[in-house]
Amino acid sequence: MRKLVFVFIIILFLTACSVEQASNDMPKEIRPPAVAGQFYPAAAEEITEQINGYLKQASTPPVAGEIKAIIVPHAGYDFSGQVAAYAFKLLEGVKINTAVLIGNSHTAYFDGAAIDSSDVWQTPLGQVAVDKELADKLIKADSAIKYDASVHGQDHVLEVEIPFLQVVLAGNFKIVPIMLGNKADDSYKKLAKALKDNLGENDVVVVSSDMSHYPKHEDANKIDRGALEKIKSGKVDELEKYVESVENSGVANEQTVLCGIDAVKTLLELARLSGWDKIEVLKYLNSGDVSGIGDKNRVVGYGAVAFAQIQTAGGLNREQRELLLTMAKETVESFVTTGQAPEFDVTDERLKQKQGAFVTLTKNGQLRGCIGQIVPTDEPLWQVVREMAVAACSEDGRFNPVEKSELDELEYEVSVLSAPEAIDDWKKIELGKQGVIIRKGGRSGVFLPQVATETGWTLEEFLGQLCSQKAGLSPSCYKDKDTEIQIFSAQVFK
């Protein structure tokens, strides 16, 4: 009998192995290079040599904060490669998880946003996998975002950025290639919101766009530098008005101000939602500036821009944020599974500082639990995060405790808070940047800063909801003289 059982176990093991092997051997859908040998060299050695040459020449100014996104041109490397290098140089030696590539299609018109459904993209420098997990999340986030490989196959707009990433980034990375369909609708807002809700700590956004097509050199200089100033303002409406004014100005041969206008608008909206508060113009040239091959009578403009998130004094760096997120996740999984919170050996002195924090759990984009401690106690930050993770999954009275079957679907967000400060005028509150605590007659309520950006409320709506929804007071209680108002800032990551 023992022999039969042993043989049966071996058969099961071999069957499992064969299934796994078959899964690993499944053919991959490869998006081959469409413009190698045209927009950039076809040989790996030539690509690497050309890009490294551009990077060496690029005197990129320092950009404060953590780089979250860049705007780069997409013409042939001989024309725009030097400008692109100014932005890609900021990613040199950086290790990321996924680069989200966004551009306007140059081959098709369609509604919404199209993500390529291929498994990998091939360049002469090798293959880069498509991050299907992130792509699936984006598609589930909004019906305007779909898989569509047909608009990616022959378009150069995103392809030309990948060899730069392959040269500058450290280690392996994935991509999510996204095209917008030139319909001038609100698809950019939907894509920005989906990205804001689903981008990870180690993801970057690469927007691909050239600028003026095809005025004279001096006209392009003036038009494009104006467009870059509007991009630097971070305001979509100002950029739209500027583009419309240029298009109506009658500049000879000016056909488009930004061929990736919807991609750029997506990034501006994403930066607003995410609090990326530093936008820096790195370099501008046009094709007329290229020695030996540029024609100053008919040019295309090229700009490089960086978007960064400023780390405030005392803020957490990337590694510290990742560690707190890992702790929150492991704590929830351990507590739900065993009823016990895990122990952690924390050596980072920054995480031992006394600071308040919230832990927020979401499932399929919906709130699943959120508990926090606002005022710092004698406990170190990492321990507060561990305790709030337990509370978020088991003590939020709005929800049933998290069950084991839900663990794979949970996403985690941590908000590390500054100490609250009292203010004497509610109009001083910076909407979207500061959280608010309301206290009156033994009742109190709190909203984190991100509530304002997620809802789109005005300051009056934000405070009215805080008074009525969270504190159980009159919607106008924030105007009462005997109402105590405190503000705080938060470093939010997920």
> Per-residue pLDDT tens for 99-117?
999 999 999 999 999 999 9
Q: Residue 4 pLDDT more than 60? A: no
Q: Which residues have a Cβ under 8 Å from the Cβ of 226 and sit 6 or more positions away?
A: 242, 246
% of the chain beyond a pLDDT of 70: 94
CA distance readout (Å), 394 to 136, 349, 370: 28, 29, 10
pLDDT tens digits, 75-84? 999 999 999 9
Q: Which residues have a Cβ under 8 Å from the Cβ of 281 and sit 6 or more positions away?
A: 228, 229, 231, 232, 303, 304, 305
pLDDT tens digits, 338-356? 999 999 999 999 999 999 9
Average confidence (pLDDT) over 285-289? 96
End-to-end CA distance of the chain: 53
Number of C-beta neighbours around residue 203 at 10 A: 20
Q: Residue 18 pLDDT more than 90? A: no
User: What pLDDT, on a 0 to 100 scale, did the predictor assign at position 111?
Assistant: 95
Q: Which of 494, 471, 231, 493 is nearest to 485 (CA)?
A: 471
The long-range contacts involving 225-233, CB below 8 angstroms and separated by at least 24 positions, are 225/284, 227/257, 227/258, 227/303, 228/281, 228/284, 228/303, 228/305, 229/281, 231/71, 231/264, 231/268, 231/279, 231/281, 231/303, 231/305, 232/279, 232/280, 232/281, 232/305, 233/279
Q: Range with the lowest mean pLDDT among 31-40, 120-129, 430-439?
A: 430-439
Average confidence (pLDDT) over 167-185? 96
| Average model confidence (pLDDT) across the chain | 91
Average confidence (pLDDT) over 123-148? 97
pLDDT band at 19 (very low <50, low <70, confident <90, very high): very low
Alpha-carbon distance 275 to 69, whole Å? 12
Q: Residue 13 pLDDT more than 60? A: no
Average confidence (pLDDT) over 462-481? 93
CB 369 within 8 A of CB 389: no
Number of C-beta neighbours around residue 173 at 10 A: 22
Residue by residue, DSSP assigns 92-125 as: TT---SEEEEEEE-SS---SSEEE---SEEEETT
Q: Range with the lowest mean pLDDT among 221-225, 315-319, 351-355, 364-368?
A: 315-319
Q: Residue 240 pLDDT more than 90? A: yes
Alpha-carbon distance 120 to 132, whole Å? 10
User: What pLDDT, on a 0 to 100 scale, did the predictor assign at position 92?
Assistant: 96
User: What pLDDT, on a 0 to 100 scale, did the predictor assign at position 313?
Assistant: 55
- In the chain, the domains with their CATH numbers are 24-309 (3.40.830.10), 315-417 (3.30.700.20), 418-494 (3.30.1490.150)
More confident residue, 318 or 287: 287
Average confidence (pLDDT) over 232-238? 95
Q: What global pTM score does this model have?
A: 0.72
Q: Which residues have a Cβ under 8 Å from the Cβ of 29 and sit 6 or more positions away?
A: 117, 118, 119, 120, 149
Compute the CA torsion angle 93, 116, 42, 85 (nearest 10 deg): -40
Residues recorded for the chain: 494
Average confidence (pLDDT) over 281-291? 96
* Packing angle, helices 236-247 and 217-233, rounded to 10: 160
Quick one: how far is CA 272 from the chain centroid? Answer: 11
